[in-house]
Amino acid sequence: MAVQVPLWHHYLQAIQSRVASRVQDYLYAENILLTVLERVHALDPRFLVDYSRDLEAFQFALRSSEDPLDMEVPLWVDAEALLIEELEASEPGGSPRLCQLGVPKEVTGLESWMTDDVFSTSTEDTTKCYGHIVPRKVLRVLKDLLVAAIVHCKHHSLITPGSLSATSLREEQLYLSLLVFSGWRKIRFNVVPMVRRKHGVTGLQDTRLMPGFPEGTLSRIISHGVDLVPASVQHWRTSTGYLLTRLLSVLGSLQGHRLDSLSILDRVNHESWRDGGQGPGLNFVHLKTVLLWASELFPAPEDWAELQGSVYRLLVVLLCCLATRNLPHFLYPKHNLLQGSGLDLNAIYQRVEHFASQPEEALRIHVTHLGRSPPPRIDHGIKALLQLPASDPAYWATAYFDVLLDKFQVFNIQDKDRITAMQSIFRKTKTLTSAES
């Protein structure tokens, strides 16, 4: 077992050696897009430029994958004065609720958002509001502004020729896609109009206990406000991307290999599970969500003290989610991120299980790493064990996942209470695993 540890660290060092160049490419691409958005603002002051994007660079540095990045464009509107009209209430922990942004009567200062290009007059007889700010119309205006801004910036040599492509701009989507070229790297940005609101978060359980995070973390993050982004042509929803990235940065402030584990799995996912990014598969949001759950399920610092064991804490959570075909959203646990994804979850599961059983093949990046691989860590029958949380949610607990760690020979916890709890769950599942194997 000990001879495998340097391989993990060497793989991580190879990832980290590329971080500086990746961040440099990202900042160059971001600067091109910010230049365009500054022109958008000059053409229409209702659309602002958000320069506070340090968290995006932080997150990009963790990634090897080339998934699109969001670039939110704040709207210059008094969000606290708007009337948030929610649709029917969803169950607690369900997906973010849809809402409409109404312009109340007897409120001044919102006249610029009552023009036909972004506003729809209410057809109902209501004393509450004049009408609503419509996402579809806002996206149409923003698309036209982006096209005009790109033409202006190219004509005045504000951006390098060939550095930006707008061929994929389509207002039928809930974002506007732009491809930016930074050196040899292509970075796709999804430009999204956004309303920043300081109060009135709907559906978020900000009082939820989150073991593994400093006390009150979520409440403090939410207190800074949330963003509303298009959810359909008529409706808006709470954007959770920024909130989750803030949670990720909190994990980065803790001792241990949490973020290192995420970087390793993202690289393995990109290179091995998705064939160098050429095939469909899991994205960075999926893996980030897995890390957040793993950090809650394994709150003890000793869980993250060793690199290989840290990666396996993510792997057992990921395998369980793939086996049950359910990856809960971290802030809306009733919302399944795998549902409707169109992914071949069985094929992905096979690749992830193969890596978890014999990771050495995927970790070899140099000729000096060639050699005979150790035998598989597991035999047949693990998938039945992984499916238990689907039939009994009580299994979604540390003791159950400790059993999985033990199956993969990486359970090295000394806490007696935890060992006792793990052994209790193991005895409960022994009959099932014996029958399957």
- Is the predicted pLDDT of residue 426 greater than 90, yes or no? no
pLDDT score of 39? 98
Q: Find all residues with CB under 8 Å of 78, minimum gap 6, and list them.
A: 109, 110
Compute the mean pLDDT over every residue in the chain, rounded to the nearest whole number: 88
Residue 132 in tokens: 């609503």
Measured distance CA(20)–CA(27) in Å, rounded: 11
Q: Average pLDDT of 120-125?
A: 80
Would strands 129-133 and 119-121 be described as parallel, antiparallel, or unpaired? antiparallel
For the stretch 167-224, pLDDT in tens is: 888 767 899 999 999 878 899 999 999 999 876 555 565 556 788 899 888 888 888 7
Which residues face 70 on adjacent strands? Answer: 190
Residue 223's nearest CA partner among 245, 241, 207 is 207
- Is the predicted pLDDT of residue 2 greater than 50, yes or no? no
When pLDDT is cut at 50, 70 and 90, the band that residue 251 belongs to is very high
pLDDT score of 235? 95
Q: How many CB atoms lie under 10 A from the CB of residue 35? A: 17
Measured distance CA(141)–CA(120) in Å, rounded: 14
Measured distance CA(353)–CA(404) in Å, rounded: 12
pLDDT score of 1? 41
When pLDDT is cut at 50, 70 and 90, the band that residue 3 belongs to is very low
Greater pLDDT, 226 or 232? 232
Q: Are the C-beta atoms of 37 and 60 separated by less than 8 Å?
A: no
Greater pLDDT, 381 or 326? 326
For the stretch 80-100, pLDDT in tens is: 899 988 887 555 556 777 899
- Is the predicted pLDDT of residue 390 greater than 90, yes or no? no
Return the minimum-mean-pLDDT range out of 222-236, 328-342, 379-393.
Answer: 379-393
pLDDT score of 373? 64
Measured in whole angstroms, how far is the alpha carbon of residue 322 from the centre of its chain?
17
- Is the predicted pLDDT of residue 4 greater than 50, yes or no? no
Q: Are the C-beta atoms of 432 and 385 separated by less than 8 Å?
A: yes
Residue that is written with structure tokens 């029917």 in the block: 88
pLDDT score of 305? 95
Prediction pTM value: 0.91
Measured distance CA(36)–CA(49) in Å, rounded: 10
Q: Find all residues with CB under 8 Å of 236, minimum gap 6, and list them.
A: 98, 99, 100, 101, 135, 195, 228, 229, 230
Q: How many CB atoms lie under 10 A from the CB of residue 418? A: 17
pLDDT score of 367? 44
Residue that is written with structure tokens 């490419």 in the block: 25
DSSP state of 129: E
When pLDDT is cut at 50, 70 and 90, the band that residue 109 belongs to is confident
Q: Are the C-beta atoms of 94 and 203 separated by less than 8 Å?
A: yes
